[in-house]
Structure 1
Amino acid sequence: NNNHLVREEEADRNKRAARYSYIKQQLNECPYIEMWMNSHPSILRGSSFCTLLNDKDTRQNMLTLFPSPNFFHLYDLKVLEGEIPQKFESWSDYKIILNKAAMKAMGYARMEDAFVRSESPLWITLNEKGEMEKGGTKLMPVVAVIDDYYPAHLTQGVKPMAFVVGKEDNSGDFIIATKPGKEKEVMELLRKIEKEAYNTEEFNHSWLTDEVSDLYSEDRETAHIYSVFALIAIAISCLGLFGLSLFDIRQRYREIAIRKVNGAGMKDLYLLLFRKYIKVIGGAFIVAVPLSYYLIHIYTRTFIMKAPVGIGIYFIALLVILLISLGTLIWQIHKAANIDPAKIIKSE
C-alpha cells in the first residue's frame, strides 16, 4: 500500500511538472505577453507582517513579501541602490531587499551599512541530514533598496517593506503582463491553455486595474453622495437668490421707470441692477475663502495623501459662482430694464 501511494504521488508530481512545462512553453511563445511569473504575492495581495531587527536590535514590524526576482521587473519597481539578485545557490538561499521607508525605519542611510534579521524564522528548510533548519534569524545584508510604492489604499500611506527574495517555484498564481491592446488575444490563449492543461472550461482571473478600482469603490460612492448634496445645495441657493432678487427688483420698478424717463440707457440700467449683487457676491467670496481653507485644513489634517489647495481653485469657484448667480438674475434684470415707464408710473 505504501509503495502504491508513493507511485501515485510521483505520478501526480510528474503530471504537475508536465502541465507546468506546457503552460510555460505556451506563455513564452505568445507574442502578446511582455512578461509573466509564478507568484503568491501580487503588488496588492499576499502581504504579511514580520518583526525585523537591525544590527543594533532595533525592532520594526513591517510588511514582508516573499517574491521572486521577476516581481520587481514585472511591476517596474525602481531600484535605488544595489541590484535585484538573479542567482541563488539553493532553494534556501534568500536575499533581503528593503524599500526606502524600511531603510529609514531601521536607521540606515546607505545600503552597505544595512543588515537585518527576523525575530522569528522567515523560512524552514531541510539540511543534508534531513534536519529542519530555521532561516532568517541571523543578520543578512540588504542587497538592494527599491523606491517606495503604495501597497494598498492611498490613505494607508507608504509602509516600511521587506522583500525576502528567492528562486521562483512552480506554485502560486500566474501573473501576466500583456502588451497594450492585446488583452483579448491573451485571454483567448489562456482559456485554450486551461482547457488543454486541466480539461475544464472554468477560468478564474482578475485584472490589476480592477483590483485597484475595487480599492476605491467606497471613495467613489462617497464622492457621488457629496456631489448630489452639493448640487441640491446649489439648486436651493439659486431658488433663494431668484426669490430675493425677484422681490428686490420689482420693488425698484418705479426707480427704473424714472431713470428711463430721464434718459438712462440699457447699459446704465444693467450696471445699476447688477452692481448690488456683484458687491454681495464679492463680500461673500472674501468671507468664504479663509473660512473654507480653514475647514478643508481641519477636515484633511489626518489624511496621508492630500490634493493641493491652490489659489486657482478659488478663482475657478468664483467664476462658477458668478456664472450661476448672473444666470439666475439675468432674466429678471433684462425684464426690468425693458419695462414701459408710462405703465409703471401710471399704475403706481
Structure 2
Amino acid sequence: MYDVCIIGGGLGGLSLSIQMADFGWKVLLLEKKNYPFHRVCGEYVATESWDFLRRIGVDDKALQLPQINHLLVSAPNGNYLESPLTTGGIGISRYLLDNTLYKIALEKGVTVLTKTTVQAIYEINEAWEITTQKETYQSKSVVGAFGKRSNLDQKLNRSYIKQSKSRLNNFVAVKYHLTGDFDKTKIELHNFEGGYCGLSKVENDVLCMCYMVSGKVFHREGSIEALEKNVLQKNPFLKKYLTYTRLWDRPLSIAQIDFSKKELIENNIPMIGDASGIIPPLSGNGMSMSMHASVIIAPLLDAFLNHEITWNKLNQEYAKQWKASFHTRLKAGRLLQQSFGKNFITNIVIQVLKGSDTATKKIIAATHGEVF
C-alpha cells in the first residue's frame, strides 16, 4: 500500500512526488513514457518558479541556462512591439527539466514506474485501487497529473468529454528545436491566421519554436508543410525562423487540444496541471502554474495522511486555494487568447499597445504570478 499515487510524470506530478517524499511518505508515480523525452510545450519557465525548483534540488546555475528578460510580440502583418519582462524567466527544455526532476525523485525514494499506462481507478473502502496494463496498485490517496488529453479522461467519464465539439474547434500544436541567430534574452510571440508561435532559447544555444493553430485552419491546409508555407510565412518573423536548421527529423505535434473547462475535482480525484484544465499559453506560464498547484496540494495531502483533515476537506481546500491563486491570470489568458490569431484584431491591439507602455506592463503582470 502506497501513501500517495500520482498519475502522470510531467512537471506537476514530478514536483509533487518530490515534495511528498520529503514529507516522508511512500510515493508511487506512474508515467506512460520513458525518461528522457521531449514534450510539445514552450520552454520558458517564469521566475516565479525558480525558488521552488531550487528548493527541491534543481541547480540552474550549474545547468548554465539562458536568462530571459525581454518580450517581442508581432501581428500577422509584421507590426510588432517590444517590452521588458520585469520578472522574466529562464529557458530550459522539457527534455532536461523533466529528466532532472525524475532523477531527483528517484534519489528521494519515489517509486517511478515508466512505460506504465493507467487503465482504471477505483475508490474502495476509503483507499484507491489503480489498475495498469502491468499490475494493480493500492494507495491511501491519488492525484491526477496526466496532462492535456489522456485515455483516463474517457475512463473517468469526465464531464468536458461529453461537451463533444468538432475537431475543427480544437487546436493543433507543433514544436521544433532549431539552430540559428536569436537573442537569448528574448522570448518572442508571433501571430498568424488562426494561431500564434512562441520562440525562446534553451540550454546549449538551442532555439525552441512551438506554435498552436486552430483545427479549422490546420485542416483547411491539410498538412504541417502547407500550413507553414501558406499561413505562418506571411508573418515576416516566422518566414525567417522557418529557414533555420532543424535538429529533429520531424517536428513533435499533438492534436485535439481542447480548452473546454474541466472540473478540478473529478470522481473525487484532485487534478493538477493540464489535467485540471488546459492552461492557455497566454496565461503567462502553464509550467509554473502546474508546479504551483503541486505546492498547494502537497501540505493538504500531508495533513490528510496524518489524519488531520478528511479527503473531502482536502478537495474543498485545494479547490479554494487553486481558484484564489489562478483565477485572475487564467481569465486574462483566455481573453488574450481570443484576440491572438485573428489578423484584424491582433494588428489593432499591437498598434494600440505600442503607444502605451503602461497597458503592456499591466497585461504582462496579469499573466504572471507571485513567487511560491
Give TM-score, length-normalised by structure 2.
0.24
Structure with greater strand share of residues: 2
Bigger relative contact order (CA 8 A; separation at least 6): 2
Give TM-score, length-normalised by structure 1.
0.25
